[in-house]
């Protein structure tokens, strides 16, 4: 678990960056298991900072992690969420995975999902990992990388 002192540094630097970016709202910083730090922001204008398919949010998280690497000597995993966007997206992806898997299991035909980021693909793969009737694999390159759900 990350130290309290480093958690204070993370909170201070996060709030400073968000202020400079014009992100106004409630900011919560929490330490999780295995040196994970989650930052949750609730703001009146979330879409501006989430961007298309979460791209702006991912970039904000990347910039913040870069800043914090110079200030915090401990290794840690950082997750930034705005108005529970990531949480909602993960629930959607899990449901998408289950629905696609049920369809593939019933029809015995592979199903190709839309392109996703590596983090999104990971959620889908993890959701389907325990299923004995289907398998999932990633295909394609770059922004066109997608998951194919196949019957076993």
| pLDDT over threshold 90, residue 15 | yes
| Radius of gyration from C-alpha coordinates of the chain | 18
Enclosing domain of residue 95: 88-151
pTM of the model: 0.80
What integer is the mean pLDDT of 110-125? Answer: 95
Do 118 and 140 sit in the same domain of this protein? yes
Percent of the chain with pLDDT over 90: 90
Do 64 and 129 sit in the same domain of this protein? no
Do 31 and 16 sit in the same domain of this protein? yes
pLDDT tens digits for 66-91?
999 999 989 999 999 999 999 999 99
Q: Answer for the pair 143, 126: CB distance below 8 angstroms, yes or no.
A: no
| pLDDT over threshold 90, residue 16 | yes
Q: Which contacts (CB < 8 Å, 24+ apart) does range 13-18 have?
A: 13/64, 13/67, 13/68, 13/71, 14/39, 14/64, 14/80, 17/60, 17/63, 17/64, 17/67
């Amino acid at each position: 678990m990350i130290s309290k002192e480093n958690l204070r540094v993370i909170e201070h630097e996060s709030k400073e960056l968000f202020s400079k970016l014009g992100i106004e709202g409630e900011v919560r910083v929490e330490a999780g298991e295995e040196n994970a730090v989650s930052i949750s922001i609730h703001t009146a204008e979330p879409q501006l900072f989430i961007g298309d398919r979460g791209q702006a949010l991912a970039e904000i998280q990347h910039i913040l992690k870069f800043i914090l690497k110079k200030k915090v000597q401990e290794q840690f995993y950082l997750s930034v969420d705005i108005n529970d966007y990531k949480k909602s997206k993960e629930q959607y992806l899990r449901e998408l995975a289950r629905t696609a898997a049920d369809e593939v299991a019933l029809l015995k035909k592979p199903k190709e999902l839309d392109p996703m980021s590596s983090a999104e693909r990971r959620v889908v793969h993890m959701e389907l990992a325990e299923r004995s009737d289907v398998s999932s694999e990633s295909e394609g390159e770059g922004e066109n990388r997608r998951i194919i759900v196949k019957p076993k």
